[in-house]
Amino acid sequence: MLALGKLLELTLAGREPTEKIQLTPAGTRLHWLTEGVLEVMPAAAADNKLDLLLSAGLHGNETAPIELLDSLLQAIASGALLPRARVLFMLGNPQAMRRGERYVDQDINRLFSGRHEQSSGFEALRANELEILATSFFSKPERTRLHYDLHTAIRGSKIEQFALYPFSPGREHSRRELARLRQAGIEAVLLQNKVGITFSSFTYDQLGAEAFTLELGKARPFGENHEVDLDKLEGCLRDLIEGVSSIPDEAQLDGLQLFRVAREIIKHSGEFRLHLPDGVENFSELPVGYLLAEDIAGSRWIVEEQGARIIFPNPKVKNGLRAGILVVPASL
> Looking at residue 21, which CATH number applies to its domain?
3.40.630.10
The residue type at 267: K
Angle formed at CA 275 by CA 331 and CA 320, multiple of 5 degrees: 75
- Please tell me whether residues 95 and 221 are part of one structural domain: yes
Same domain, yes or no: 162 and 294: no
Do both 57 and 205 map to the same domain? yes
Quote the Cα angle for 147-150-153, to 5°.
145
Domain that holds residue 67: 3-242
| C-alpha 183, offset from chain centre | 17
Is residue 252, in this structure, part of any structural domain at all?
Answer: no
Q: Which of 191, 209, 242 is the last residue of a domain?
A: 242
Q: Are residues 272 and 223 in the same domain?
A: no
Task: Assess whether 153 and 233 both reside in one domain.
Answer: yes
Q: What is the DSSP string of 252-320?
A: --TT-EEEEEEEEEE--STT-EE-S-TTPPBTEE--TT-EEEE-GGG-EEE--STT-EEES--TTSPTT
* Cβ-based neighbours of 168, under 8 Å, separated by 6 or more: 195, 204, 205
pLDDT of residue 57: 97
Shared-domain flag, residues 224 and 315: no
Q: 230 and 283, same structural domain?
A: no
The reply to whether 298 and 185 lie within a common domain is: no
Number of domains in the chain: 2
At residue 119, the pLDDT reads: 86
In a domain, 256, yes or no: no
Contact 115, 197 (CB under 8 A): yes
Residue 317 lies in a domain: yes
| Structural domain contains residue 283 | yes
Q: What is the CATH number of the domain that holds 315?
A: 2.40.50.630
Show the low-confidence residues of the chain (pLDDT under 70). Answer: 221, 224, 227, 245, 247, 250-251
pLDDT given for residue 250 in this prediction: 67
Q: Are residues 234 and 274 in the same domain?
A: no
Does residue 257 belong to any structural domain of this protein? no
The pLDDT, as a whole number, for residue 253 is 82
The reply to whether 247 falls in a domain is no
CA 112/CA 324 separation, integer angstroms:
19
| Active centre residues (catalytic) | 215
Q: Please indicate, yes or no, whether residues 50 and 167 belong to a single structural domain of this protein.
A: yes
67 and 164, same domain (yes or no): yes
Domain boundary among 184, 208, 242: 242
- The answer to whether the CB of 28 falls within 8 A of the CB of 42 is yes
Rounded to whole angstroms, the Cα distance separating 227 from 220 reads 10
Residue 250 within a domain: no
Q: Based on the fold, state whether residues 179 and 311 are members of the same structural domain.
A: no
